[in-house]
Amino acid sequence: MTGWTPESRLARVDELLCAAPVLPVIAIERLDDAVPLARTLVEAGLPVLEITLRSEVAIAAIRAIVRDVPGAIVGAGTVLDAAALTAVAEAGAVFAIAPGSTEALYAAAASAPIPFLPAIATASELMRGLEHGHRRFKFFPAESSGGIGALKSFGGPFADVRFCPTGGIDAAKAPAYLALPNVITVGGSWMLPKAALDTRDWKTIGDLASASAILAKRP
Ligand SMILES: O=C[C@H](O)COP(=O)(O)O
Ligand SMILES: CC(=O)C(=O)O
């Protein structure tokens, strides 16, 4: 599908992000890790994945997960420009996320085949997104941009906007975010410790992911 209306994009983003309370933000360094890592997260109850374009194998990793991991809802992160948006859609990602947004990305998103979730950190950035018809945003970097307090404040003037806060959140902090009425899901990498990734310790990652998957959206 191309040519999003604000309503059709909002409905699709909600459908994708509501599928799990936590969105793992993943940087894959070795292509061979992509499928077992994604399978571990999906089996642990975290089917919605953000594969960031932070390594040379990221696009190939998206392709491999889409092809080989049933049940994975594969999104792409660190989508910084229109070319990257096209590339991740062609690789099979079903949504795209950025750590911010630009006029060029908003223009590309209007006709992209997959929905785009821009990020904001301030009220002015949010208002620019609203002008482009967006009502769902990543809030990044969440903890260092005001965290829970900022999201509560955004809820006043921007009551119909919903967020995926990401950045500096961990298992201890996530429940307070998820308890906010304007939070759909929480993004983060806390279930992917570097030591476990380096040693392909899928058991540790699976246990951390399972603990994240049962965090309730509401208290
Ligand atoms: O850049 C964003 C991160 O990859 C996700 O945030 P985090 O690592 O602080 O959880
Ligand atoms: C952090 C983030 O949202 C990204 O890299 O896309």
Q: Tell me the C-alpha distance between 80 and 2, whole Å.
A: 20
Q: Are 197 and 33 in contact (CB under 8 A)?
A: yes
> What is the per-residue pLDDT for 4?
81
- Note the pLDDT tens digit of each residue in 25-83: 999 999 999 999 999 999 999 999 999 999 999 999 999 999 999 999 999 999 999 99
Query: pTM for this structure?
Result: 0.95
CA angle at 116 for the pair 118 and 112, rounded to the nearest 5° = 140
Measured from the Cα of 52, ligand 2's closest atom is 5
Domain annotation for the chain: domains and CATH numbers:
6-213 (3.20.20.70)
Of 7, 29, 90, 138, which residue is the catalytic one? Answer: 138
Q: Is 189 in the pocket of ligand 1 (CB under 6 A)?
A: yes
Give exposure, 178-204, as e/b (b: 16+ Cβ within 10 Å): bebebbbbbbbbbbbeeebbeeeebeb
- Note the pLDDT tens digit of each residue in 1-32: 467 888 888 999 898 988 899 999 999 999 99
> What is the per-residue pLDDT for 217?
58
> What is the per-residue pLDDT for 218?
43
Active site residue 138: yes
